[in-house]
Amino acid sequence: MLFILVAAAAATWYSGYAANPLTLQVSAIMGLVIAFIISFKPVTAPFLAPLYAILEGMALASLSFFCEINYPGIATNAVLITLSIFAVSLLLYAKQIVTVDNDFKKMVMTATFAVVIVYLMNFVFSFLGIQIPMLHESGIIGIAFSLMVVGIATFNLFLDFQLVAEAVEEQAPKYFEWYCAFGLTVTLVWLYIEILKLLRKLRK
């Protein structure tokens, strides 16, 4: 799935479609809808997960393009940091330096849910012309918030690794392999976006 995402991102970037705001808007919305469908119907993963990867590749290419306009080189840095975090996290999990138990799962899921609530509140308030103070600013609080969210996204990688390990151990159905790949892709996309946000704040 990551190969599909990268291929879609490259095609969108070099074709020039990344410069069209509609590419970002349409692909992001469609990707979100498909993500919800897969989350509630994992059996659809073999069919919808590749489509999700294509849409997210298009969305990330467009998002990166617009970030590059104001902050040249930011996308490359974000990609390198994302891949580095992924590699280190995988190594820590493989070496059992980080173990995923029930307490770890509860902690990460609670923190993730809290971030989702904050983002939903910010989304709703934006229609009322209200912004959560300092959330998107480049001050200490804004940067600290972004660092925290990057950390939470990173912890979610360990949950994805554990899900894959459990699926292999329990000989889960074939469709579940696609579901695991989908989950890992979602986390990496989220991590990349949050790193982009953090780098933008640091550049200001």
Contact criterion met (CB below 8 Å) for 154 and 191:
yes
Q: What's the token pair of residue 185? A: 């892709």
Q: What is the band of 110 on the pLDDT scale with cuts at 50, 70, 90? A: very high
Contact criterion met (CB below 8 Å) for 8 and 58:
yes
Task: Provide the residue range defining the domain that includes 4.
Answer: 1-70
Q: Say yes or no: 200 and 131 in one domain.
A: yes
Q: What's the token pair of residue 50? A: 């590749």
Q: Say yes or no: 117 and 163 in one domain.
A: yes
pLDDT per position as a tens digit, 79-109? 999 999 999 999 999 999 999 999 999 999 9
Ranges of H-type helices in the chain = 2-15, 21-40, 45-70, 74-94, 102-127, 140-169, 174-203
- Mean pLDDT across 5-28: 94
Which residue is associated with the tokens 């996290």?
89
Q: What is the band of 8 on the pLDDT scale with cuts at 50, 70, 90? A: very high
Overall domain count for the chain? 2
Is the model's pLDDT at 133 over the cut of 70?
no
- Say which range, 131-135, 137-141, 155-159, 179-183, has the weakest mean pLDDT: 131-135
Torsion over CA: 105, 178, 9, 58 (sign): negative
Torsion over CA: 117, 153, 27, 75 (sign): positive
pLDDT per position as a tens digit, 41-73? 999 999 999 999 999 999 999 999 999 999 999
Backbone angles phi, psi at 131, to 5 degrees: -120, 140
Q: Say yes or no: 173 and 139 in one domain.
A: yes
Q: Say yes or no: 156 and 201 in one domain.
A: yes
Q: Say yes or no: 12 and 106 in one domain.
A: no
Is the model's pLDDT at 16 over the cut of 70?
yes
- Say which range, 4-13, 36-45, 123-132, has the weakest mean pLDDT: 123-132
Q: What is the band of 127 on the pLDDT scale with cuts at 50, 70, 90? A: confident
Is the pLDDT higher at 82 or at 16? 82
Q: Residues 6 or more apart from 25 whose CB is under 8 A from it?
A: none
> What percentage of the chain reaches a pLDDT higher than 90?
84
Q: Say yes or no: 33 and 125 in one domain.
A: no
Is the model's pLDDT at 131 over the cut of 90?
no
Contact criterion met (CB below 8 Å) for 158 and 124:
no
Burial class from Cβ neighbours inside 10 Å (0-12, 13-18, 19+) for residue 1 reads buried
- Mean pLDDT across 186-203: 96
- Mean pLDDT across 177-201: 96
Q: What's the token pair of residue 145? A: 């918030």
Backbone angles phi, psi at 152, to 5 degrees: -65, -40
Q: Say yes or no: 194 and 100 in one domain.
A: yes
Q: Say yes or no: 112 and 61 in one domain.
A: no
Q: Say yes or no: 81 and 13 in one domain.
A: no
Q: Say yes or no: 48 and 97 in one domain.
A: no
- For the chain, the straight-line distance linking the first and the last C-alpha, in angstroms and rounded, comes to 34
